[in-house]
C-alpha cells in the first residue's frame, strides 16, 4: 500500500474527504518525525512505538571488493510493534 492508497482507505474508514485525510496523515508523519528526531518516543498503546536508537561506529566490508570500511556512528529511527498489532499480524 502506498501513501495515496492509505489516504483513500483512511478517507473511506473515517468518512472524511481525501484532502482532510491526507492533511491528517501528513501532520501525523511530521509530528512523529519531529518528536523522534528530538530523541523522544511516540507510543501508541497496542499499535507500537516509534523511537530513536543509537548505532555505534563499526567496521564493515565492501561486498564487491572485500575492503574494510569504517562506518560512523549514527542515530536510526525504529518502530517496535505493540502486542495487539503483533497478534493481528499472527492470526
Q: What is the pLDDT of residues 11-58, one digit of tens each?
A: 999 999 999 999 999 999 999 999 999 999 999 999 999 999 999 999
Burial class (CB in 10 A: 0-12, 13-18, 19+), 2: exposed
Cα–Cα distance measured from residue 18 to residue 28, given in angstroms and rounded to the nearest whole number: 15
**What was the pLDDT predicted at 35?**
98
**What was the pLDDT predicted at 34?**
98
**What was the pLDDT predicted at 22?**
97
Phi, psi of 41 (to 5 degrees): -100, 150
**What was the pLDDT predicted at 31?**
98
**What was the pLDDT predicted at 13?**
96
Amino acid at each position: 500500500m502506498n501513501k495515496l492508497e492509505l489516504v483513500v482507505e483512511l478517507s473511506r474508514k473515517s468518512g472524511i474527504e481525501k484532502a482532510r485525510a491526507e492533511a491528517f496523515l501528513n501532520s501525523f508523519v511530521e509530528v512523529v518525525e519531529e518528536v523522534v528526531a528530538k530523541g523522544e518516543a511516540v507510543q501508541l498503546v497496542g499499535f507500537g512505538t516509534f523511537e530513536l536508537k543509537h548505532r555505534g561506529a563499526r567496521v564493515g566490508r565492501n561486498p564487491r571488493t572485500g575492503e574494510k570500511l569504517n562506518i560512523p556512528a549514527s542515530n536510526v529511527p525504529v518502530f517496535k510493534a505493540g502486542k495487539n498489532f503483533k497478534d493481528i499480524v499472527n492470526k
